[in-house]
Chain A
Amino acid sequence: MLNTLNTAATGMTAQSRQIENIANNLANADTTAFKKSRTDFQDLLYHNLQAPGAATSATTQNPTGVQIGVGVRVAGNVRDHEDGTLKPTQRDLDIAIEGNGFLSIQKPNGEIAYSRDGSLRLGAEGRIETISGYPVVPEIQVPPNSREIHISFDGRVSVKDEQGAQQEIGQIQLTSFANPSGLQAEGGNLYNVSPASGAPVPGTPMEGGFGRVFQGYLESSNVNPTVEMTDMIRAQRMYEMNSKVISTADQMMNALNQIR
């Protein structure tokens, strides 16, 4: 019965982890380029009271054995890097990446982080920066007195100078990873390289499997609130069911204590 209590407790813990994850997905349903994650569960090791195939006599064996499970654990929170829908904003410096690729961003400590949040700004010195003021790598400097920033599908950035002549000032580079779900989320819409993500592979938009850059659009989150709400209801009910198991085990132990 003590095993039962532990097993049901693992179930409750797992379901509350799922609720935490759903809460985060829903909280970020409107965050630019947010990627939802999902909680995956796994059964724990089994307690083998009788291994399958154990001998029941000299000539026969137990075809199935007796294995008692001891519960569940959270195997991982896997981020789903499916593209979010593109939302038009009409801003020159809003870009969305359709398809594979991340922008490289230099953090204040000099390290490079990766992001799909393309809500860019012009810094004080005309440098293209993220909303937090971190420069995009490679750095793109917009000359003073230029008008109409244009970003092409393949990431070339050009401006019109005072005379109205088109001038190319830089190129947006993208980076891809063998396993984007393995990137470590840092918060602030930034991701860091991890051993599970694989090494960053730099490239140019629209080349070698990289996505296109859309100017005037932002990528919305890929959270589907309907799915999250139904998952939440399910998780809550499963939580309750596990707590019912605990109270049953409790009642059984109570009955045992009453016996004498």
Chain B
Amino acid sequence: MDSGLVTSLSGALAQSRRIETIANNIANAETVGFKERDLVFEEALESAHQKDTRSDVDPGPLSKSELLARPMRENRPVLYGADFTNMKEGGMRSTGNSFDLAIEGNGFFEVLSPKGIRLTRAGNLSLDAQGQLVTRDGFLVLGPKAAGITVSTDPAQQNGGSASSRAIRVGNGNFEVDVEGNISRITAGARENVGKLSVVQVENPKALKLVGQNMFEAAPEAFVKTPDAPDMRAPASVDAATSPLPEPKENPLGPTNVAPRVHQGMLEGSNVNPVEQMTRMIQAQRLYDQNLKIMQSQGDMTSRLSDLGKF
């Protein structure tokens, strides 16, 4: 009986986590470049029952047919398996402000945060006191790496070293950004190229970690593709057969072989669909209630069982 209680409890907990995720999506429905998240649940197959029958050698993940061949277990608590970010593009909104940039297609701006280089799609930029392009938090927006310079992946190195030299100085006056991210400054009718925005592509968006402030941190398995290092998965370096992550069949960000386009005067809104979120919320609430109901009936059954002894 106890294991049944645990199962329902895990269900209720999972649904309340889900509500937390939905609350965050709704709270961020107006956040520039925000991507909605959803929790995916999985059954806790690897429960204690199985562990004692196993040898010390980990056989690795089981195939679906192997799993189905196993005898049914009565105890299957729910685990939050993974949550994933829905990387679908958010709606574009015209703002008419030349400091607002939106990326169409698979692409991220590179931003120098105090903890190292981060990626963002929030293009609501501004200038700092030195006339350099910065994000809302004052983090430098970076241009492409100069040819031949290798930037260390160590955050400390990135900060002190060459990364800050990739800042884009726009200075005073009007400027224009073309679809490729080239920035030109217009002074008294004359056009002068002042730099280029680094727009990198991500082949495996699932490996992006959210760090808040509209930024993502890219794990190495995200396969960040920069214009100067066009293919992180070059056949020579990664053997297709043993590659830990197969090429995602469908990249929700869009294909990486299509160059992203930068649009000035536009902002990408969040991709949160409030209707969907509200529906999911109702669903999660009902499932939560049902799990509680089951817990309650289990409790009733246990108490009746103990009543039996009184006869």
Determine if A26 is an interface residue (Cβ-Cβ < 8 Å). no
Mark interface residues in A79-91 (1 if CB within 8 Å of B CB, else 0).
Answer: 0101000000000
Whether the Cβ atoms of B28 and A245 lie closer than 8 Å is no
- Which range holds the interface residue count of chain A? 35 or more
Q: Is the CB of B295 within 8 A of A259?
A: yes
Contact at A179–B131, with CB atoms within 8 Å? Answer: yes
Q: Report the minimum CB–CB distance from A141 to chain B (whole Å).
A: 31
Q: Is the CB of A57 within 8 A of B210?
A: no
Known contacts A42-B214, A182-B127; decide if A72 and B60 are in contact (CB<8 Å): no
Once the chains bind, are A44 and B212 in contact (CB under 8 Å)? yes
A interface, over-half SS: mixed
A45 to B209, CA, bound (A): 11
Q: Which residues of chain A are within 8 angstroms of B223 by Cβ–Cβ distance?
A: none
Q: Which residues of B contact A52 (CB under 8 A)?
A: 206-209, 219
Closest residue of chain A to B24 (Cβ to Cβ) is A69
- Residue A165 CB within 8 A of the other chain: no
How many angstroms from the CA of A66 to the CA of B209 in the assembled complex?
10
Task: Tell me if A233 is interfacial: C-beta within 8 Å of chain B.
Answer: no
Q: How far is the CA of A1 from the CA of B18 in the complex (A)?
A: 10
A8 near B27: Cβ-Cβ < 8 Å: yes
Q: Is the CB of B26 within 8 A of A242?
A: yes
- Residues in A neighbouring B229, C-beta threshold 8 A: none
Contact in complex: B292, A260 (CB < 8 Å): no
Q: Which one of B19, B58, B83 lies within 8 Å of A252 (CB-CB)?
A: B19
Answer whether residue A126 sits at the interface, using C-beta atoms and an 8 A cutoff.
Answer: no
1/0 per residue, CB under 8 A from A, across B257-295: the answer is 000000000000000001001100110010011001001
Question: Which one of A4, A42, A58, A198 lies within 8 Å of B130 (CB-CB)?
Answer: A198
Is A68's CB within 8 Å of the partner chain B? yes
A59 within 8 A of B: yes
The interface residues of chain A lying within 8 Å CB-to-CB of B81 are 66
Question: What's the minimum C-beta distance from B241 to chain A, rounded to whole angstroms?
Answer: 15
Q: By the criterion CB–CB under 8 Å, are B285 and A72 in contact? A: no
Nearest chain A CB to B286's CB is how many angstroms away? 10
Q: List 23 A-B contacts (CB under 8 A).
A: A4-B19, A7-B27, A8-B23, A41-B28, A45-B211, A52-B207, A57-B58, A66-B83, A69-B24, A69-B37, A78-B124, A80-B95, A100-B174, A177-B172, A178-B130, A179-B129, A181-B127, A196-B128, A196-B138, A241-B278, A245-B27, A255-B292, A258-B292
- Chain A positions within 8 Å of B, measured between CB atoms, are 1, 3-4, 7-8, 10-11, 14-15, 18, 38, 40-46, 49-53, 57-72, 75-76, 78, 80, 82, 100, 176-179, 181-182, 195-199, 201, 208-209, 234-235, 237-238, 241-242, 244-245, 248-249, 251-252, 255-256, 258-260
Closest 7 CB pairs of A and B: A11-B27, A69-B24, A179-B127, A178-B131, A7-B23, A198-B129, A41-B31
